[in-house]
Every structure is written in structure tokens, then in C-alpha cells.
């Protein structure tokens, strides 16, 4: 079984962020493997450990994203392809999906997976775009995966409940981070990752036309979200606190 996992390097949303002249500035510049993609890598590893096969990760991003590819290899992925871009590209989901679709054109695979969204923008679009370009059956927001002969069985968290969907291979699935706890690379894994094959392709060599690489959507600026002011904090006898807050909710806020 050949598993491709599309991964992305993103800023760590837990690190402090500032906005200077409309730009996002992270003092730490801490970049990480997108948490949802990490779950996709983990699930691919679990399935191939159980059923045999190979996991290859693909990343579209600048040179410094190599460290994120190394992380996925250290977790246990077998090989990697790095499609390199300039440092400050303003690609939207549609451009990434086009680039990946072009990459996959001449590849053979059973399953392509990725995170359901990237944790910095939360857009959640590239996965289903890629499936459409490649004309693959797909499911999004998977919270569980299993294999059944030639089918990938997806448990998807939908609006009405958990949908159990059978996908004939080849197929595409986007993963929630609720399906597993991604493994922490072991020292051995980290050592091995340095010897694993990593192919580098310059995006400029992929013969994508201008239209495919020009984003139809643009970020025009950033703002701090107006912060909620902390309200009143009560400490003391539980009976009194309960009564006080219940009365405030009823009389001051009118929400009971």
C-alpha cells in the first residue's frame, strides 16, 4: 500500500504573536508540523505498520521547511518530496492544491491524506480541492481510519453524527487531530531520518502556468482580536457564590 501524506509547515499558534504595521510577527519564529498533518502521518504509519506498505510525505514550502519534513521522517515516514518555493509567497489553498495535483499527476498511490485544515489559517480547503483535481473519492474530517480489502473505511465527524464511509482506492482523506496522539520521534528515529531519501523539486521547474500560481484570494492585513476583559472573579463559600452568580445572571444579564 502506498500512502502519500501532504504536510505543511506552520507557525506555532501557541507562541506569542504581535502585529506590526499589519504584518504578523512571531518573535520566536517557531515553525512546526501542522498538528492535523501530524495526525495524518501518525495514522498512515499505524495503517502501514498493520497492513504493510510505504509512507511518503510531500511538502510545498520554503527551504527552511526541511526541518518539518525531517520531523515526519523521524516519526517513521519512509521518504519525502520537498517542492521548494520562495520564502515569502502569498499562495492560497487553491494554489497549493494545484501544485500538489500537478505533482500527483504521474504518481501511483492507494491513499493520499492530509490534515483537515492548517492550524494557522484554519481554511480547510486544500484537501477537497486536491481530491477534485485528481477526481478521487474523498472524505474530510476523519476521526478514525481502517482498511478493508481494497477499501479505506473512514469514520467522519459530520453534522448529524459520525458517518461511516467506504472509499475505494485510490482515494483521499483529510484527518482531524482527534483520531490519535502523534508519536514523538525517538532518538533512533531522528538518527534514521537523516539517511532517508528526500527528493527536492523546485516549484519553478514544475511548468505550472501563471494562472495556477496566482492566488484569487489575498490577505490584506491583520488585527489583534479585541480582547475580552476579565470580569468579576468570586472566591469564598460555595453556597454564597452560587447564589450571587445565579442572581447576577438573572438580574444583570437576563440570560436565565
Stretch that binds another protein, among 48-56, 93-101, 187-195, 200-208 (CB under 8 A): 93-101
Pairing of the two strands 79-84 and 198-202: parallel
User: Is residue 14 involved in binding another protein (CB under 8 A)?
Assistant: yes
> Which residues contact residue 210 at a Cβ distance below 8 angstroms, ignoring those fewer than 6 apart?
none
User: Is residue 105 involved in binding another protein (CB under 8 A)?
Assistant: no
Stretch that binds another protein, among 42-50, 73-81, 175-183, 197-205 (CB under 8 A): 175-183
Beta-bridge partner residues of 6: 58, 114
CB-based contact 183:75 (threshold 8 Å): yes
Shortest separation between residue 94's beta carbon and another protein, angstroms = 7
User: Is residue 60 involved in binding another protein (CB under 8 A)?
Assistant: no
Q: How far is CA 94 from CA 13, 61, 85, 207, in A?
A: 23, 15, 15, 17
Within positions 211 to 240, which residues make up the interface with another protein, using CB under 8 A? 216-225, 227-228, 230-235, 238-239
Stretch that binds another protein, among 1-9, 105-113, 119-127, 201-209 (CB under 8 A): 119-127
Q: Which residue in 105, 122, 150, 199 binds another protein (CB under 8 A)?
A: 122
CB-based contact 220:227 (threshold 8 Å): no
Amino acid at each position: 500500500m502506498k500512502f502519500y501524506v501532504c504536510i505543511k509547515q506552520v507557525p506555532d499558534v501557541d507562541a506569542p504573536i504581535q502585529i506590526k504595521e499589519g504584518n504578523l510577527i512571531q518573535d520566536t519564529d517557531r515553525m512546526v508540523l501542522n498538528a492535523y498533518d501530524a495526525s495524518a502521518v501518525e495514522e498512515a504509519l499505524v495503517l502501514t505498520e498493520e497492513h504493510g506498505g510505504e509512507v511518503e510525505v510531500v511538502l510545498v514550502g520554503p527551504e527552511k521547511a526541511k526541518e518539518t519534513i525531517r520531523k515526519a521522517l523521524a516519526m517513521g515516514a519512509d521518504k519525502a518530496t520537498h517542492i521548494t518555493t520562495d520564502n515569502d509567497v502569498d499562495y492560497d489553498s487553491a494554489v497549493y492544491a494545484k501544485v500538489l495535483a500537478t505533482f500527483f499527476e504521474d504518481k501511483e498511490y492507494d491513499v493520499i491524506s492530509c490534515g483537515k485544515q492548517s492550524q494557522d489559517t484554519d481554511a480547510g480547503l486544500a484537501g477537497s480541492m486536491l481530491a477534485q483535481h485528481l477526481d478521487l473519492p474523498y472524505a474530510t474530517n476523519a476521526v478514525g481510519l481502517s482498511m478493508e480489502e481494497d477499501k479505506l473505511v473512514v469514520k467522519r465527524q459530520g453534522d448529524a453524527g459520525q458517518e461511516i464511509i467506504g472509499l475505494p482506492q485510490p482515494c483521499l482523506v483529510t484527518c482531524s487531530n482527534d483520531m490519535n496522539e502523534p508519536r514523538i520521534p525517538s532518538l533512533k528515529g531522528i538518527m534514521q531520518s537523516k539517511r532517508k531519501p528526500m527528493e527536492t523539486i523546485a516549484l519553478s521547474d514544475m511548468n505550472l502556468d501563471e494562472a495556477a500560481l496566482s492566488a484569487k484570494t489575498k490577505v490584506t492585513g491583520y488585527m489583534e482580536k479585541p480582547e475580552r476583559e476579565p470580569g468579576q472573579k468570586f472566591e469564598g463559600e460555595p453556597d454564597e457564590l452560587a447564589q450571587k452568580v445565579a442572581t447576577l445572571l438573572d438580574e444583570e444579564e437576563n440570560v436565565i
